[in-house]
Amino acid sequence: MRVIAHDLNGPLTGMNLTLQACRKLATNDSMRKLLDALGNDLTSATDLLEELKSLNRRDTFRMQKIDLVAEMRSLIDQVQSNPRVPIIIDLADSKEKLTIAGDISRLRRAWQNIIRNTIDAAEARKGGDRTSLQISLKRSGGSARIRFSDNGGGIDRRRIARLFEPFYTTKGEKNRGLGLFIARKIAIEHNGKIRVVSKKPMTRVTIDLPLMP
């Protein structure tokens, strides 16, 4: 898998550079729209490549001390800086500092995957109120509890047990079905736990990670 991923990185990088050059030469809106669509496809291909690499990753963790509240605020700011994101994100953070140890790039990927699921649900909805996502952070015993709660429509109870299976998706052929599988893998790597509960239209994903003493 690593060899294949390495071989694919080169062509994808080349295509992205070519796309940037084409955008500079685009002379009308129709051409720009086609290039935007191509850019979205390339982004999806790059994301898929990273997810496939994650399936068998054995990298040494870059362990560091993490201020959970600060990192989550940073991630939310990053997501909301994109005007195309169709959800409202609200952070209810802890009144106390929550410090964990971990690989921040891996943890951010897990959190991004969960947020991505809410974005996908929002894009699939037709009409109604805008989808909202509330992220809460608090201490729970010796753990930091991160809870993602959205009103994106909910998940059929019969499908909950399969959500952490690789390539299982409730969102059609365009979705790869790796987001929660990878999030669970990362949580376990950090001696944490993840669980999902859903009652339409709400879905809640909870991650518990050990606090530093």
Look at residue 176 in the predicted model and tell me its pLDDT.
Answer: 63
Q: Quick: pLDDT tens for 4-57.
A: 656 677 788 888 889 888 988 888 888 888 888 888 777 767 766 766 666 665
- Assess whether 71 and 170 both reside in one domain: yes
Residues 146-164, mean pLDDT to the nearest whole number: 89
Confidence of residue 64 (pLDDT cuts 50, 70, 90): very high
- Assess whether 39 and 133 both reside in one domain: no
- Assess whether 94 and 188 both reside in one domain: yes
Look at residue 58 in the predicted model and tell me its pLDDT.
Answer: 56
- Assess whether 185 and 83 both reside in one domain: yes
**Whole-angstrom Cα distance, residue 111 to residue 97?**
19
Residues 101-128, mean pLDDT to the nearest whole number: 88
Out of 20, 36, 55, a domain closes at 55
Confidence of residue 213 (pLDDT cuts 50, 70, 90): confident
Residues 95-114, mean pLDDT to the nearest whole number: 93
Mean pLDDT of all residues in the chain?
A: 85
The count of domains in the chain is: 2
Look at residue 100 in the predicted model and tell me its pLDDT.
Answer: 98
Confidence of residue 75 (pLDDT cuts 50, 70, 90): very high
Range of 109's domain?
64-210
Out of 55, 75, 93, a domain closes at 55
- Assess whether 95 and 125 both reside in one domain: yes
Look at residue 177 in the predicted model and tell me its pLDDT.
Answer: 67
Look at residue 174 in the predicted model and tell me its pLDDT.
Answer: 54
Look at residue 131 in the predicted model and tell me its pLDDT.
Answer: 92
Residues 124-133, mean pLDDT to the nearest whole number: 80
- Assess whether 173 and 133 both reside in one domain: yes
Q: Quick: pLDDT tens for 160-211.
A: 888 888 777 766 555 566 889 989 999 999 999 999 999 988 999 999 999 9
Residues 90, 92, 97, 101, CA torsion sign: negative
Q: Give one DSSP letter per residue of 16-61, joined into a string.
A: HHHHHHHHHH--SHHHHHHHHHHHHHHHHHHHHHHHHHHHT--PPP
Residues 150/118, Cβ–Cβ less than 8 Å: yes
Distances (CA, A) of 92 to 69, 72, 95, 162: 10, 11, 9, 29
The pairing of beta strand 87-92 with beta strand 131-140 = parallel
Q: Please give the residue that has the higher pLDDT: either 38 or 102.
A: 102
Q: What is the pTM of this model?
A: 0.75
- Assess whether 163 and 113 both reside in one domain: yes
Query: Cβ neighbours of residue 86 under 8 Å, at least 6 residues apart?
Result: 119, 122, 123, 130, 131
23: region left, alpha or beta (phi > 0 left; psi from -120 to 50 alpha)? alpha
- Assess whether 94 and 164 both reside in one domain: yes
Task: Give the chain's radius of gyration (CA, Å).
Answer: 19
Report the percent of the chain where pLDDT is more than 90: 41
- Assess whether 102 and 203 both reside in one domain: yes
- Assess whether 19 and 92 both reside in one domain: no
